Amino acid sequence: MNAQRKTVVVAGHGMVGHRFVEALRSRDSAGQWQVVVLGEEQLPAYDRVGLSSYVGNWDPAALALAGNEYRGDDLVDLRLGQRAEAIDKDARKVTTAAGAVLDYDALVLATGSYPFVPPVPGHEHPECFVYRTLADLDGIKATAEAAGPGAHGVVVGGGLLGLEAANALRMLGMTPHVIEYNDRLMPAQVDEGGGAILEKLVSDLGLRVHTGVGTQRIERDEAAAPAARLRIGLSDDTAIDAALVVFSAGIRPRDQIARDAGLEVGSRGGIVTDLGLATSDPNIYAIGECAAVEGVCYGLVAPGYTTAEIVADRLLGGAGEFPGADMSTKLKLLGVDVASFGDAHGRTEGALSVVLHDAARGTYAKLVISDNAQTLLGGILVGDATQYAALRPLVGRPLPAEPAALISPAGAELGADALPDEAQICSCNDVSKGAICGAIADGACDIPAIKGCTKAGTSCGGCVPMIKKVLEQSGVEMSKALCEHFEQSRAELFQIVQATGIRAFSDLIARHGKGIGCDICKPTVASILASTSSEHILEGEQAALQDTNDHFLANMQKNGTYSVVPRMPGGEVTPEQLIVIGEVAKEFGLYTKITGGQRIDLFGARVEQLPLIWKRLVDAGMESGHAYGKSLRTVKSCVGSTWCRYGQQDSVGMAVLLEKRYRGLRSPHKLKLAVSGCARECAEARGKDVGVIATDTGWNLYVGGNGGLTPKHAVLLAGDLDDETLISYIDRYLMFYIRTADRLQRTAPWQADLGIDYVREVVCADSLGIAGDLEAAMQSHVAGYRDEWAAVLEDEQKLSRFVSFVNAPAEADPTISFDDSGERKVPVLLGLPAMPGGGSGM
């Protein structure tokens, strides 16, 4: 044993405490320090930032931080369930709650913070919780399950953690209410405009938001049912009957052990340190949320990691100092993007604001700039935060383009070349663009290698898109692996399936992949298998690969019901079919709506009702409209020359022909087509993946148009085509896209990657000599098409899937209800978790 070895005791084993141990052990090659870690919880360090992901899988191991048990390291003594209780500064001793006394040469306080619980009368009731540890979530789960589906839960506090807690209640099947004293949600991160958009987005997802009110009292009725045992009285004289309350009204630094020891603490709490994180006792340091660095506490993990690194440096003779903290945040709450960075609220003197508030898209973007409009000071993004990774490093730097262009969907796109080397890419670990470029120059040529040598992207992961851009700018060829289970790209897997005839995911992963698969590769392979065969997607093993929508051949809606969209090729429908649709809607109590794709959507069907509805529609000569799949949705048309005095060709007839030809065609993303009978473009063909516009001599073919967040106009592929040539070109284009596009890549970005000239050469000039093969593959699809609804109705095994409860097939889901008191029938949300899939079903 090294006689000169010293002992450092670490009080706290959270994320920051663990980072300190990692940093010290990785640098202490001489073994100068013996480390003793005191962890209050029975579990070693876990990802508290990702606490909400515990809901659903309930597996603590999934949140465990890598290396958190220090196995094989004799210089780390981890003691769980042993909280540091008292400090004797003069004797340099720490006493644990179990009575053990430990000597130290240096003491690092990483005690973190505790949730603030307002002194509301009744806050001590057993159904009242905080949202801080895995044990807290276990208690919330038990109470929610006792209350039953649809029970109301109240979250006091509408900040970041409050919304995460509300989402956890929602995922537990509860109806969550959020009480926020301020006039908007997340007041620390967003302004009034951003708060308004955020409130609308989360309300649409089932949260009931109460802003500008306080919680006055919590009364408990022991005799009441568990679902309504508490009554929460609000300051506006209203009350909520609920099963439980979760307090998320902010955090306070855990500094009591320092107070008791006589260390200096801040006026608003926190253990006061200098820039080297030393407290008023030079042998004691404080890191993370409990530290008040020169009087300021930082509640984010990124500055906490910085403090941990600095103390590790100091113990090994360095002179590191806290450089200040970037308090920027990027989050996805309930599936809603929220980001703020720099001076988000425009507190700098003379600051100007540029705002893009798009209520229709549900997005809000604000840039705060200097008084001369030359420098970016900060910003807020709600609903769409794709530009965060590019904008945040520019704070304090000259704007590379007009401010409005930087936040407009049709504006400038920032690349890595717009950033100087000193720009910070990873704020969690303080990694600059120059450091990443240096790592690339030293041979780090992919994301895992960059993470390994710089730690960029290893915390929240928000900087990974920009790291990819830096790699691309440096000329590094990016891996096209589909996921960790397949080294091949989607296009390569398509070729493997096509060449080998493999028809099962288990065979494909056994022969060409590894592991058991994931939610990336399973639906991707399912799509490939469907694109290369006419087998039903619920046949055998394929059924288990599908997402929710494809699994039930219907679009799941926000309250857990489904929508049914029968196909209407070209928008045509007979009077008899319209009558049947009306009768079905009336009999099953469905809400009906004409979609933007010229058909009728029937909303509100329970899962066990789907086959009954399909039977009525199929008997009337209708079939699945594939509104649920990554496949052809519709072929929209105007009335064309049949009725319109301006029409030059029969657009309806062509639309019907194309829709019947490509119905059921599975692809990397949904497909929409349109046929316009003249240049007046009533069918909006240039906004579709494939658009056909009539001329006086034939058809013009446009490709690569998309709606969505970044709308793209289709571009002309070929002009004045006869019917036969038009169809052959569309066959080739669609099949070439299906074979070569990436997972979930729409035609517009796929086409942009290849270049329209290259696509034109392949499709029209057959430059690759594959035109015949592409057309044959499409003809095989056409010949093998069979309606998916009808196939289920004919198969008892497939029909058995369509029940709300496997152990009670005849029972309907009691959590589903509707409000039809107004002009429109609307779903009453009971906090059901969001499901994969989606889309309007046009």
Classified as helix, coil or strand, 27 is helix
Residue 426 marked in a binding site: no
Tokens of 727: 């169809």
Please give the helix or strand (H or E) that residue 82 lies within, else none: none
Order of strands across the sheet with 671-676? Answer: 632-637, 671-676, 690-694, 699-703, 715-721
Residue 644 marked in a binding site: yes
- Strand bridging mode 93-96 / 101-103: antiparallel
- Strand bridging mode 239-242 / 128-130: unpaired
Where do we find the tokens 């670490």?
10
Tokens of 79: 């003691």
* Other beta carbons less than 10 A from residue 134's beta carbon: 17
User: Residue 298: phi, psi to the nearest 5?
Assistant: -120, 125
- Per DSSP, 152 falls in state E
Q: Who contacts 699 (Cβ-Cβ below 8 Å, separation ≥6)?
A: 649, 654, 692, 693, 720, 721, 722, 723, 726
Tokens of 795: 């198969």
Name which of 400, 403, 457 is nearest 431 in CA terms.
457
Residue 682 marked in a binding site: yes
Evaluate whether 312 touches 332 at the Cβ level (below 8 Å). no
DSSP-H helix ranges across 371-459: 388-391, 403-407, 433-441, 447-454
The residue type found at 54 is: Y
Instruction: Report helix, strand and coil shares of the chain as percent, to nearest 5.
Output: 35, 25, 45
Side-chain half-sphere exposure of 434, counting CA atoms within 13 A = 4
State how far the Cα of 665 lies from the Cα of 734, in Å rounded to an integer.
9
Side-chain half-sphere exposure of 110, counting CA atoms within 13 A = 32
Handedness of CA 120, 124, 128, 132 (dihedral sign): positive
Name which of 763, 649, 645, 659 is nearest 702 in CA terms.
763
For residue 431, how far is the Cα from the chain centroid? 24
Q: Who contacts 777 (Cβ-Cβ below 8 Å, separation ≥6)?
A: 735
Please give the helix or strand (H or E) that residue 244 lies within, else none: strand 244-247
- Give the angle subtended at the CA of 54 by the CAs of 50 and 59, to the nearest 5°: 125
Helices and strands, counts by H and E, the chain = 26, 39
Handedness of CA 184, 188, 192, 194 (dihedral sign): negative
Where do we find the tokens 């568990």?
226
Taking each helix axis from N to C end, the angle separating 723-740 and 747-754, rounded to the nearest 10 degrees, works out to 90
Q: Give bridge partners of residue 209 from the DSSP assignment.
A: 178
Name which of 397, 399, 453 is nearest 426 in CA terms.
453
Evaluate whether 59 touches 151 at the Cβ level (below 8 Å). no
Q: Who contacts 817 (Cβ-Cβ below 8 Å, separation ≥6)?
A: 559, 827, 828, 830
Q: Who contacts 54 (Cβ-Cβ below 8 Å, separation ≥6)?
A: 60, 62, 63, 134, 137
Name which of 211, 208, 41 is nearest 134 in CA terms.
41
State how far the Cα of 400 lies from the Cα of 414, in Å rounded to an integer.
8
Tokens of 308: 């941990």
- Per DSSP, 394 falls in state G
Q: Please report, in range form, the residues annotated as the binding site for [4Fe-4S] cluster.
A: 638, 644, 678, 682
Q: Please report, in range form, the residues annotated as the binding site.
A: 638, 644, 678, 682
Q: Please report, in range form, the residues annotated as the binding site for siroheme.
A: 682
